[in-house]
Structure 1
Amino acid sequence: MMVETKLSMTQQDVRSYSDRNGEPEWFKELRLYALGRAETAPMPEVDKTKLNKWNFTQFTDFSVASPAYSSLNELPEKVKALVDLENAKKNLYIQHNQTRAYLSLSEGAKAKGVILTDIFTAVKEHPDLVKKYFMTDAVKVDEHRLTALHAALVNGGTFLYLPKNVVLEEPVQAIYVHDHETAPLFNHVLVVADENSTVTYVENYISTNDNAKGIVNIVTEVIAEANAKIEYGAVDALAEGVTTYVNRRGYAGRDAQIEWALGMMNDGNTISDNTTNLMGDGSVSHSKTVVVSCGKQIQNYTTRIAHFGKNTESFILKHGVVKDASTMIFNGIGKIEHGASKSDAEQESRVLMLSEKARGDANPMLLIDEDDVMAGHAASVGRVDPVQLYYLMSRGITRSEAERLIIHGFLAPVVTQLPIESVKKQLTEVIERKVR
């Protein structure tokens, strides 16, 4: 039986929501156009996963008000554990469901013209910048039903902008708390590094309420202009009752660099699309992802890096652990377009199986339309190496503890990449909980 595809929001609902937010006319018109496209656009095509029984459109209580935090002492313990307290008074954004709950930006960043704010304030106070980048180059409104639905119903998110020639030494941290039991979250994150600028951005999606349910539709656009560098880290740890669609998309100009370090630890069903388009000559992107899948959850992760400019470089690394009766699909796509000569596309996908009933697939793909290039891939699906187990157990370590150590080592390539110690610790703890 297919899930009802009729949308929960009408044109009048969207107009009313936009008016209450005080949004400019251009943004309201974009919402209405997107809603019309969402009614007819097809669902995204996801290799080896059928989405016809997944609910992405039906929900109640679309708009909810959640309390803000006057100080960090008011944070829930789960959230407080994520905060880099030494950096908290510098660059920190916290969102509670759909409400901006806490915001801090260092005086040095302000003096350099850095903008960090919620997406709705950005739309009103920085309309020219937002209009230039919002769902224009990285993610298109009408790609499919889920991007159109997102554009129509966006109800949370962040805008981070670095002007030209700005190097921000301290990382920017964003925490998105989803603990509502009915309301959806359509969260939009827009990170723009103008020419010759550098920034590190790290985000967490977390459910402080294990009973949190519903839909989370995330679209992230990461724009690195010429010679800019963006390091983007994320840990997703949403509750079992949350169905998640996440689309993280990068757009790199000439000699720009986008680095991804993604810890995908949701307990519910998840569809993820991480795509980077290397548009400028000499641009680079490395994408590292770790996933732990357990219970009966279904997870599908597609990582795609497309080379358009000459002398571009990409590397995709994906390590996943599958246990219980869960399903994990890894799709890795390296695409070199005609004219992108001297480019190099490499990828590696590894899946570690911990149960007879678990299913793990690693599907590497290279799509090459140019002769003068380099490309390669490696993929494996298997169980814990018995030689490694034997070596550890011969040192007096129990089998379960030996497996635990091997798993942590297997996932370390991404965990070690996260630049904020509290976030790194959280990812390690989530991995520990899920593998046990």
Structure 2
Amino acid sequence: MAAIREPEWLKERRGEAARRAAALDVPRFKGKAGWEFTDISKLDLASFTAALPGEGDASAVDRVETLLEAPEGAHHLGQVDGRVIDGGDAPDDLLVLPLTLACETHGDLVAEHFGKVVDTQQDVFTELNDAGWTGGAFVYVPRGVRVEQPIVLTAISDTEKTALHRRVLIVLEEGAEAEVWEQHLSGTTDNETLLTSVVELRVGQNARLRFVGAQDLNEKTWVFGSQRAEVARDGHLDWVTAGFGSANGKVFTETLLAGEGSHARVTGAYAPHGRQHVDFHTLQEHGAANTTSDLAFRGILADRSSVVWRGMIKVDPGAQQTDAFQECRNLLLSKKAHADAIPGLEILANDVRCTHAAAIAQIDPEQVFYLRARGLDDAHSKRLVIEGFMAELIERFEPGPIREAMTVALDRRLAVLLD
């Protein structure tokens, strides 16, 4: 593989981030705002080595079971640790490139958008990502272009004690339309790895983006993510996030409705078991008038697993006629499973409608009794109750490839939880 020539601005940015990262510690449990419910004191950050450009076992692609089954004709781009795996060719009017290559071949275009959405000075994980990302993905859809098939980005963490710093930049210009699926997978069930993910989404004026971010990492992997979208005037974002794997970590999912008339719908699904811990921190920021957002997270928890969801609706000054909603509902399959759902509002305008809801419950025994009275056994009765609980989430997906892919993924995950 030929060496990638990085532009000077990127080299300088990496160096500054590395210096800042060296001075930072891992966020302490209950010692840093936002980390009160996630204890990562067992993480030995120094024991992980960053994935090097071009290094990775390509055979991992054949070892993993994909999470999201893409339809025929989808555009693919993947990587295993630091090694880029080439996929199908993209049309001439669409860029789907490793971000490292895009920095060399389309440096000015990348520089216009790179690092403009996510503040990478949040913590040690975002700083390490900014300094050491490799491979990654750059998706650019020019003005007025409509991409008919999904773009599928796959990142596989494979080698023991390797840190994969994954960076994704997606840009849709005015009037463009696209659907991008990103999935994080593990090459083995046993290797302990670390994933940091920074995702930047820029949705232009009157553009439409569906972004699906899902992970089914093995249960020894640490995952830390900072994902943020910026939606311009009359833009539309449909964001789907799913967390099925990993051992522990925290993911920030933030949306800024920056232009008047913009809209965002965010749908989250998670299903941990064993002693898995999942932490989602969401933000719906309304930065302009006449914007709408709708967020719904649902999860099923088994065994001794735990989940944290903390959501904030923020309405900036002047963002009148905001209409925002958020909810988080959890179904506990075990008396030892635990969920925290913490909605919040920060309203700095006086003509808005903002509402939220949160619920945590176990399977209703009366529903199970009703089904058993009609001839079903206990296992089938409980499964139907769980499927009914998740059905409302599935209905948020439009008929088509994404609904089919998420239905299959949820069914497969439910079988693991009920095994």
Q: TM-score, normalised by structure 2?
A: 0.91
Report deviation, 1:235: 2.2
1:55 aligns with 2:48: no
- Going from structure 1 to structure 2, the CA distance change for 1:333 and 1:56 (only over 3 Å counts) comes to farther
State how 1:387-426 maps to structure 2 within 5 Å: 387-415=366-394, 417=397, 419-420=401-402, 421-422=404-405, 424-426=407-409
Secondary structure, aligned partner of 1:76: helix
Report deviation, 1:427: 3.8
- Going from structure 1 to structure 2, the CA distance change for 1:105 and 1:427 (only over 3 Å counts) comes to farther
Q: Deviations over 1:78-132 (max 9, x none)?
A: 3468553622xx41112222211132134xx32xx21001111011111112111
1:66 aligns with 2:56: yes
Q: Deviations over 1:296-340 (max 9, x none)?
A: 122211111100110000111011112211211111111111100
What RMSD in Å do the two structures reach over aligned CA positions?
A: 2.2
Report deviation, 1:51: 4.6
* Cα distance between partner residues in 1 of 2:323 and 2:405: 34
1:124 aligns with 2:104: yes
- Going from structure 1 to structure 2, the CA distance change for 1:423 and 1:58 (only over 3 Å counts) comes to farther
State how 1:346-361 maps to structure 2 within 5 Å: 346-361=325-340
Report deviation, 1:204: 1.5
Report deviation, 1:20: 5.3
- Going from structure 1 to structure 2, the CA distance change for 1:227 and 1:54 (only over 3 Å counts) comes to farther
Equivalent residue number for residue 77 of structure 2 = 93
Report deviation, 1:434: 2.8
* Cα distance between partner residues in 2 of 1:260 and 1:370: 25
46-55 or 180-189, larger mean C-alpha shift: 46-55
Equivalent residue number for residue 218 of structure 2 = 239
Report deviation, 1:54: 4.8
1:323 aligns with 2:311: no
1:282 aligns with 2:268: no
Selected match of 1:259 from 229, 238, 244: 238
* Cα distance between partner residues in 1 of 2:250 and 2:110: 26
* Cα distance between partner residues in 1 of 2:14 and 2:232: 28
- Contact 1:261/1:414, CA 8 A, preserved across alignment: no
Unaligned runs of 5+ in 2: none
* Cα distance between partner residues in 1 of 2:158 and 2:82: 10
* Cα distance between partner residues in 2 of 1:56 and 1:249: 27
Report deviation, 1:191: 0.8
State how 1:359-398 maps to structure 2 within 5 Å: 359-398=338-377
Secondary structure, aligned partner of 1:231: strand
- Going from structure 1 to structure 2, the CA distance change for 1:414 and 1:27 (only over 3 Å counts) comes to farther
**Could you tell me which amino acid in structure 1 is paired with residue 245 of structure 2?**
N
- Going from structure 1 to structure 2, the CA distance change for 1:233 and 1:140 (only over 3 Å counts) comes to same
- Going from structure 1 to structure 2, the CA distance change for 1:419 and 1:59 (only over 3 Å counts) comes to farther
**Could you tell me which amino acid in structure 1 is paired with residue 6 of structure 2?**
E
* Cα distance between partner residues in 1 of 2:235 and 2:341: 29
- Going from structure 1 to structure 2, the CA distance change for 1:81 and 1:223 (only over 3 Å counts) comes to closer
- Contact 2:246/2:276, CA 8 A, preserved across alignment: yes
Secondary structure, aligned partner of 1:289: strand
**Could you tell me which amino acid in structure 2 is paired with residue 431 of structure 1?**
L
Equivalent residue number for residue 114 of structure 1 = 94
- Contact 1:174/1:204, CA 8 A, preserved across alignment: yes
Q: TM-score, normalised by structure 1?
A: 0.87
Equivalent residue number for residue 26 of structure 1 = 9
Report deviation, 1:382: 0.8
Selected match of 2:86 from 94, 102, 127: 102
**Could you tell me which amino acid in structure 2 is paired with residue 432 of structure 1?**
A
Q: How many pairs are equivalent?
A: 407
* Cα distance between partner residues in 2 of 1:80 and 1:302: 26
Q: Deviations over 1:345-376 (max 9, x none)?
A: 11111111122222111111111111101011
State how 1:108-257 maps to structure 2 within 5 Å: 109-110=91-92, 113-136=93-116, 138-257=117-236
* Cα distance between partner residues in 1 of 2:44 and 2:285: 27
State how 1:331-346 maps to structure 2 within 5 Å: 331-346=310-325
Equivalent residue number for residue 46 of structure 1 = 34
* Cα distance between partner residues in 2 of 1:80 and 1:265: 13
Report deviation, 1:36: 1.5
1:268 aligns with 2:251: no
* Cα distance between partner residues in 2 of 1:130 and 1:376: 37
* Cα distance between partner residues in 2 of 1:66 and 1:220: 22
Report deviation, 1:49: 2.1
* Cα distance between partner residues in 1 of 2:239 and 2:189: 28
**Could you tell me which amino acid in structure 1 is paired with residue 299 of structure 2?**
G
* Cα distance between partner residues in 1 of 2:127 and 2:264: 26
Equivalent residue number for residue 301 of structure 1 = 280
Q: Deviations over 1:25-81 (max 9, x none)?
A: 211110001112223357463253245515273234423512447xxxx94153468
**Could you tell me which amino acid in structure 2 is paired with residue 62 of structure 1?**
A
- Contact 2:185/2:215, CA 8 A, preserved across alignment: yes
Report deviation, 1:140: 1.6
- Going from structure 1 to structure 2, the CA distance change for 1:317 and 1:429 (only over 3 Å counts) comes to same
* Cα distance between partner residues in 2 of 1:81 and 1:328: 21
Report deviation, 1:390: 2.1
* Cα distance between partner residues in 2 of 1:405 and 1:170: 33
